[in-house]
Structure 1
Amino acid sequence: MKIGNFLNIGPATMVTAAFIGPGTVITASLAGANFGYALLWALLFSVCASMILQEMAARLGIVTQRGLGENIRESFQRPVARWFAIALVISAIFIGNAAYQGGNIAGAAVGVSAFSRDFFAASSDTVSVPAILITAIAFLLLWSGNYRLIERALIFLVALMSLAFLATFAVTRPDFGALFSGLLVPGIPSGAALTVIALIGTTVVPYNLFLHSASVSEKWRDPRQLSAARRDLAFSIPLGGLISIAILATAASAFFQHQIEVQRADELAGALAPLFGSAASTLLGIGLFAAGISSALTAPLAAAYAMRGILGLRAGLDSAGFRLAWLAVLLSGGVIASLGVRPVEVIWFAQVANGLLLPVVTAFLLWEMNTSRLGEYRNNRVQNLLGCAVLLVTVLLGGRSLLSAFGVI
């Protein structure tokens, strides 16, 4: 990529920052620790699926100059249908992100503790000082209302986590033969079915469609700029996939090969130190911090974009309604992370709502990409076939999410 094109990246980097969070780090790490390199193909598939949907979201945002939320509001003219759509988006995107925001901030705090134990040794047992500081950093960046500043901060964080996780990957000396076999030869070991679904689900998420479709319209105003948006996508999403692959491969070489059991985020960095030295532990801590704080920025931002669109609020990152939306998500997550609260009931509700929303949003996106409003930029036959294939996967993911929420599986 030329330097000029590199400087033009941005919105798709937000998507990468959003899906590479503590949840992805834990899911990929547990997949590698429990099944070695065998499930790498699932990450490769999820990156391809994400690129298909995110390209549609970007095209929709640039051509219509409206985010997915605005398009949903415009498409549902009848009051009952419109309020159903509003309730669905609020429950899954807004409340769901508020619940998971606690995990983003807590994960970033764990990363800080991994490379600065002495500094935070005197922290209170009841209040997490790193979590409070991370919440404050996210607040200041979002409150600025400056899209360029937020975009550049996220690009920096994605670059930081890329360097940290790829360096950790190199330090742990993975088996490249097994790695390429896991990428190119699909297989599901015994007991790995739910892990496969979880790996795909950490990348193909509905709120990224709201985030991307709205953020591209902040950066590009003309459909002739679609090529720039696609270059941004082609660079940023595969980079996120590479990070996920590095995390899984690191866990496979560090934990699976040495038969070390890991269950929680705060065990990851500490478990690496005896095997590969303190450098590996520090690098993983830096990566976890960057992943957590980047997701702590994008989760409130995505919720605010979705709320602004579906409720028809005034445009602008500095508008009162937009700020109120992201502030509610950020503060909810900050309180949860700072006090160590486990919002089981809220997460259960978010899981149910997300299971309903993911296939619905995917289906709506496909519908919208075939409307006359897009003119020559409508989906072609190949794009529709690829989109339908991804829709089938989202239905399976949504079904699994609902069954899991109700304790059936």
Structure 2
Amino acid sequence: MKKLLAVTLGILTAIGGFVDIGDLVTNALVGARFGMRLGLVVLVGVIGICLYAEMCGRVVAVAGRPVFDLIRERLGRRTGLLTLIASFLVTLLTLIAEIGGVALALELASGVQYLLWVPLAAFAVWLVIWRVKFSRLETVFGLMGLLLIVFAVALWKLGPDWGQLMHQATNPRPIGHETWATYGYYAIALFGAAMTPYEVFFFSSGGVEEKWGREDLITARANVFVGFPLGGLLSLAIMGCAAVLYLPVGIQVDTLAQVTLPAAVALGKLGLAIVLIGVFAATFGAALETALSCGYTIGQYYGWQWGKFVRPRQASRFHLVMIICLALSILVLLTAVDPVKVTEYSVVFAAMALPLTYLPILIVANDPDYMGENRNGPVTNVLGLVYLGLLLVASIAAIPLMIITKGGQ
């Protein structure tokens, strides 16, 4: 059991990265509009995040320091500052969306308007970070997020034409009135969501929180190769449910309630209850990840004491950053901005920041001074460069496609 629980960091990171509020809505929206024709993008994203998360886990296990700390030291403060600004702003935007997602999940469960839940959701995130140990945090929310497997069960119960779904997945192209521009826009959104910057920074910082050493290389890789593919499968299940229920009747997904409806249709009230708990756990876990990542990146760049492995009093600036970010999230959401729209834009802006995030990781993972004989091999480097090319294309195309398609309309 202890060995199984050792992979909960990867599960929490993957569920927070693949099935947070952004991915829940985006995957369902894509399924309703394109069926499974963008499923290959999720697969490409899973491979990419596994590739770079493995580098991050290996760096932590060998060097004993988080990746962002080494980026600043290896590349200098100026280059590190570019990475910091790009990743921090995207992470803060994602945090706003996640707090909104928690509030929307509570609204679905209670019927109480989501704006009333926003301050309570942010306070709950702060309280858990302040009081709960990191190991318990990752275990509880990682395992609770697994309740989203109900989407896979719902997809099976809906009785789809599996051959048709496979045909869609193997024919990646727009359909009907959809254009290649909207297809490309959502492809970038899915790719950006799969490789959101905070995932790798949270994962590497979490390895330090867990005190990984060289003897934990297997644990680090197990977290990567179990957690992230599982998150990808859940994303595909959400996409598949929407493809079966909404695509044939031409209904578009605009709300979180529509995302959860397939579970209710297939499994009744029990399915709806389970999916609501899973959505709450996934969005709350993602809010914890993004809030902590805001503190991790700022603290590591400036060389402050950071982390939950020390008392809050010893890492006061680290906790202050998170409090400020949570307060900003409340203020933005109380303007009544649509959390779903915030989420959709956050994954596109994430795509713009990807090269600045992942190039430094590739450099650090190849540095013999830090990694010695554990630095990247030739195959890893070739794949890393291929993905950097994809990330660069996505970052360049993101804003033009957003403008051309008016945000995917």
Q: Same fold (TM over 0.5)?
A: yes
Residue 140 (str. 1) matches residue 127 (str. 2): yes
Distance 1:113 1:345, change over 3 A: closer
Residue 100 (str. 1) matches residue 86 (str. 2): no
- 1:337 maps to 333
Alignment partner for residue 388 of structure 2, among 364, 386, 391?
Answer: 391
Residue 153 (str. 1) matches residue 150 (str. 2): no
Unaligned stretches of 5+ in structure 1? none
Q: Distance in 2 between matches of 1:90 and 1:181?
A: 42
Unaligned stretches of 5+ in structure 2? none
Residue 188 (str. 1) matches residue 173 (str. 2): yes
Q: CA deviation at 1:259?
A: 2.4
Q: What amino acid maps onto 1:176 in structure 2?
A: W
Contact 1:197–1:397, Cα closer than 8 Å, also in 2: yes
Residues 67-216 of structure 1 aligned to structure 2 (within 5 Å): 67-77=66-76, 82-86=77-81, 88-117=82-111, 120=112, 123=113, 128-144=115-131, 146-160=133-147, 162-183=148-169, 185=170, 187-190=172-175, 191=179, 192-216=183-207
Q: CA deviation at 1:295?
A: 1.1
- 1:50 maps to 49
- 1:9 maps to 7
Alignment partner for residue 318 of structure 2, among 322, 344, 362?
Answer: 322
Q: Distance in 2 between matches of 1:284 and 1:67?
A: 34
Residues 278-317 of structure 1 aligned to structure 2 (within 5 Å): 278-279=269-270, 281-317=272-308
Q: Distance in 2 between matches of 1:154 and 1:133?
A: 18
Identical residues among aligned pairs (%): 24
Q: What amino acid maps onto 1:383 in structure 2?
A: T
Paired residues, number: 393
Contact 1:141–1:149, Cα closer than 8 Å, also in 2: no
- 1:218 maps to 209
- 1:21 maps to 20
Q: What amino acid maps onto 1:83 in structure 2?
A: R
Q: What amino acid maps onto 2:78 in structure 1?
A: W
- 1:377 maps to 374
Q: Distance in 2 between matches of 1:372 and 1:355?
A: 29
Structure 1 residues 160-216: Cα deviation after superposition (integer angstroms, max 9, x where no partner): 3x3343343344333322334444x25222522221221111111222121111111
Distance 1:84 1:350, change over 3 A: farther
- 1:360 maps to 356
Contact 1:37–1:182, Cα closer than 8 Å, also in 2: yes
Distance 1:17 1:305, change over 3 A: farther
TM-score for the superposition, normalised by structure 2: 0.86
Structure 1 residues 282-329: Cα deviation after superposition (integer angstroms, max 9, x where no partner): 444333322221111111111211111111111332311211122222
Q: What amino acid maps onto 1:91 in structure 2?
A: I
Contact 1:91–1:350, Cα closer than 8 Å, also in 2: no
Q: CA deviation at 1:376?
A: 0.6
Contact 1:42–1:200, Cα closer than 8 Å, also in 2: yes
Q: What amino acid maps onto 1:169 in structure 2?
A: L
Contact 1:351–1:405, Cα closer than 8 Å, also in 2: no
Contact 2:15–2:282, Cα closer than 8 Å, also in 1: yes
Q: Distance in 1 between matches of 2:264 and 2:153?
A: 14
- 2:242 maps to 251
